[in-house]
């Protein structure tokens, strides 16, 4: 059973802030470790919301645990509670506080070990796009697939790090499996360790936009009673951040399962094969079932939500197996 961690009395890590639009975030201290607390995002500005807050902390936790179960380096996550909300705690893989015995005597800018720096794919693509402004009109934020793949195959800093292309395609496949539609260019990259003078792939992080996190339990229950609707949700309704672009400059978001069915890109199909060789559905089912329904008076993850997640994953696994069987590389 997953342990729910009570972050209610954890001290704020002053001077540590986080960006992103997926909900409120704050940094708290736990000894020398720093944990980013991610709150569920309010739906008050959304059109016809069915729930008051998204279930993004559950999506982040389960999505990250699935990545971890597949053998991918992943940021450490725990489910928790803080300020009366179910939250997810993500251990900061860049920062640590200096020795607590000297903490109170240090100016704020010196309280944290800042030897590690994240170089997001966004910033690296921004740099690459400037190499030939006649050919590349995009920016670091752009997610046209051809530009993304061009950056991966030609940007010198990425070429000096092993496994970048494999990581991209592994995330493409796993994100389709968990239904994560927001692997934007700021949500993956490299870590430069100034102390060790090394550059390596960052662990996988930011998986909160998985599993239809704006769906209500009632909506999930209705779909569970309709095999047709479940299949549509599992396959057709999954999109990703990457886009096609035509000669007229128009772009559409890629539907990953249709793309994987049609593409002849060998790297993509090798990633599917890696996924199928490591996926353990019994273990993943255990991750989902291990989340408690309640913690004291708070609802954490109802049984209907668990059944919905498990059915989505079952249908997506079937689809990936069919894609692999039909590939004629």
pLDDT tens-digit map of 38-59: 999 876 555 555 665 689 999 9
Q: Which residue has the tokens 């309704």?
A: 237
For range 186-205, the mean pLDDT: 96
Quote the CA–CA distance of 181 and 288 in Å, as a whole number.
20
89: phi then psi, degrees, rounded to nearest 5: -100, 130
What is the helix (H) or strand (E) element at residue 67, kind and residue range? helix 56-69
Neighbour count for residue 288 (Cβ, 10 Å): 21
- Under the banding of pLDDT at 50, 70 and 90, the label for residue 9 is very high
Closest CA to 113 of 221, 233, 20, 194: 194
Q: Which residue has the tokens 């802030």?
A: 17
For range 118-125, the mean pLDDT: 96
Q: Angle at the Cα of 203 (from 89 to 7), degrees rounded to 5?
A: 10
For range 216-228, the mean pLDDT: 96
Quote the CA–CA distance of 118 and 69 in Å, as a whole number.
24
Closest CA to 123 of 107, 109, 140: 140
pLDDT of the residue at 252? 87
pLDDT of the residue at 45? 55
For range 227-251, the mean pLDDT: 86
pLDDT of the residue at 274? 98
Quote the CA–CA distance of 235 and 316 in Å, as a whole number.
7
Question: What contacts 237, CB < 8 A, 6 or more positions away?
Answer: none
pLDDT at 63 over 80: yes
Domains annotated for the chain, with CATH where assigned, are 5-326 (1.10.1070.20)
Closest CA to 177 of 305, 301, 70: 70
pLDDT at 103 over 90: no
State the average pLDDT for the chain. Answer: 91
pLDDT of the residue at 42? 72
pLDDT of the residue at 15? 87
pLDDT of the residue at 111? 82
Closest CA to 118 of 174, 186, 69: 186
Q: For the whole model, what pTM was predicted?
A: 0.94
- Under the banding of pLDDT at 50, 70 and 90, the label for residue 5 is very high
pLDDT of the residue at 107? 60
What is the sign of the dihedral through the CA atoms of 141, 273, 277 and 177?
positive
Q: How many helices (H) and strands (E) does the chain have?
A: 12, 13
């Amino acid at each position: 059973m997953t342990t729910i961690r009570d972050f209610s009395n954890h001290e704020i890590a002053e001077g540590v802030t986080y960006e992103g639009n997926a909900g409120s975030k704050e940094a708290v201290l736990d000894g020398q470790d720093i944990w980013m607390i991610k709150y569920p995002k309010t739906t008050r500005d959304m059109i016809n919301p069915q729930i008051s807050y998204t279930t993004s902390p559950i999506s982040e936790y389960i999505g990250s645990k699935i990545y971890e179960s597949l053998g991918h380096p992943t940021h450490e996550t725990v489910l928790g509670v803080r300020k009366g909300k179910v939250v997810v705690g993500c251990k900061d893989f860049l920062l640590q506080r200096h020795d607590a015995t000297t903490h109170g005597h240090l100016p704020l800018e010196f309280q944290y070990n800042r030897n590690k720096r994240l170089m997001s794919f966004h910033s690296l693509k921004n740099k690459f796009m400037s190499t030939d402004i006649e050919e590349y009109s995009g920016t670091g934020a752009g997610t046209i697939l051809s530009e993304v793949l061009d950056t991966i195959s030609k940007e010198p800093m990425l070429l000096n790090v092993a496994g970048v292309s494999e990581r991209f395609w592994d995330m493409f496949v796993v994100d389709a499996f968990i239904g994560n539609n927001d692997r934007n260019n700021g949500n993956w990259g490299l870590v430069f360790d100034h102390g060790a003078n090394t550059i390596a792939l960052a662990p996988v992080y930011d998986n909160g936009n998985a599993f239809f996190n704006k769906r209500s339990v009632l909506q999930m229950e209705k779909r569970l009673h309709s095999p047709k609707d479940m299949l549509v949700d599992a396959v057709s309704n999954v999109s990703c951040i990457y886009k096609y672009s035509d000669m007229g400059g128009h772009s559409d978001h890629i539907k990953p399962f249709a793309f994987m069915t049609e593409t002849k890109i060998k790297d993509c199909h090798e990633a599917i094969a890696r996924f199928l060789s490591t996926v353990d559905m019994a273990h993943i089912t255990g991750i989902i079932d291990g989340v408690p329904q309640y913690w004291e008076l708070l609802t954490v993850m109802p049984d209907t939500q668990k059944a919905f997640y498990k059915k989505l994953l079952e249908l997506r696994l079937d689809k990936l197996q069919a894609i692999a069987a039909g590939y004629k590389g």
